[in-house]
Amino acid sequence: MSCTIEIENLHLKLSSKVILKNINLKAEHGDFITILGPNGSGKTSILKTLMGFYKIDKGKIKICDETYENNNTLNLRKKISYLPQNYEIDKFFPILTKDIIELSINENCLKNKRAMEIINEFNLMDLLKKPFGLLSGGEKQKTMLAMILLRDPVILLLDEPNLNLDMLAYKNFLKLVEKIYMEKKLTILFVTHLLTHISDLSKKVLILKAGKIIFSGKKEEIFKKENYIEFIYD
Ligand SMILES: Nc1ncnc2c1ncn2[C@@H]1O[C@H](COP(=O)(O)OP(=O)(O)O)[C@@H](O)[C@H]1O
Ligand SMILES: [Mg+2]
């Protein structure tokens, strides 16, 4: 299925505070777009708005063939899979890794062919019977990615997937995302606060600062800017 994302003149207020101002974004089917910005700039808020968690104040969002305007209500859109920034579960919460994966499967078993493929591809087999809370950051991240991919999304929203991962675990995670992106032709919005974490697959980078887009263009163009570090983070 082919699917685009269009955000037009989006304004968002939360607890009467302006969070996003005049956000415009267009992702064609199969685009890999990075949203870069310092902490608190509104990156997560854009993703949560796309997921339908927030009622928007002004503007329009179009996802695939559906349009959402200012009367938005909570609506988990099935075509989108979202890997949130935080999904910590208490270490002792009694849920196994396999239970997390099964959340995305209708049949109550891991005999599902797709599930087995992903479990093997992601090397999750040995983790299935471990409590999810006891996995390492990288293992949790892989499990969550496997779980959301089993929903067969056409759009993937990834919110700072580097958090809690060491360099090697993050590199492996990114490789996995890039492989899936190439194979499945998904549309990916990838959020990060680190300039060094922009994937080479990124067709476009948006820089967000204090709720506004201050740059939209190619990764290389950022580095050509004078004082680009200050431009982004100051
Ligand atoms: N539910 C909320 N109510 C009020 N303010 C919020 C809420 N969620 C986020 N914010 C504020 O919105 C701003 C942007 O937050 P966020 O989108 O999480 O930024 P980022 O992901 O770029 O770090 C921050 O100032 C944050 O404190
Ligand atoms: Mg965030």
What is the reported pLDDT for 130? 95
Phi first, then psi: give them for residue 226, nearest 5 degrees: -70, 140
- pLDDT surpasses 80 at 24: yes
**Same-domain status, 62 and 162:** yes
* Of 10, 12, 44, 233, best ligand 1 pocket probe by most atoms within 8 Å of the beta carbon: 44
In order of 146, 163, 228, the CA distances from 170 in angstroms are 15, 9, 24
CA dist 62 and 68 (Å) reads: 6
> CA 133, 136, 141, 142 torsion: positive or negative?
negative
- pLDDT surpasses 90 at 25: yes
223: helix, strand or coil = helix
The reply to whether 194 falls in a domain is yes
**Same-domain status, 49 and 16:** yes
**Same-domain status, 31 and 74:** yes
- Tens digit of pLDDT for each residue in 88-140? 788 888 899 998 888 776 654 556 788 888 898 888 999 999 999 999 888 99
**Same-domain status, 62 and 117:** no
Side chain identity at residue 114, one-letter code: R
The reply to whether 207 falls in a domain is yes
* Chain CA centroid to CA 112, Å: 25
The reply to whether 86 falls in a domain is no
pTM for this predicted structure = 0.91
Atom of ligand 1 nearest to the CA of 191: 21
Task: Give the distance (Å) from ligand 2 centre to CA of residue 225.
Answer: 25
**Same-domain status, 56 and 39:** yes
**Same-domain status, 14 and 65:** yes
Q: How many CB atoms lie within 10 A of CB 140?
A: 21
**Same-domain status, 66 and 131:** no
Q: What's the number of domains the chain is made of?
A: 2
Side chain identity at residue 128, one-letter code: L
Query: What is the domain extent for residue 114?
Result: 95-152
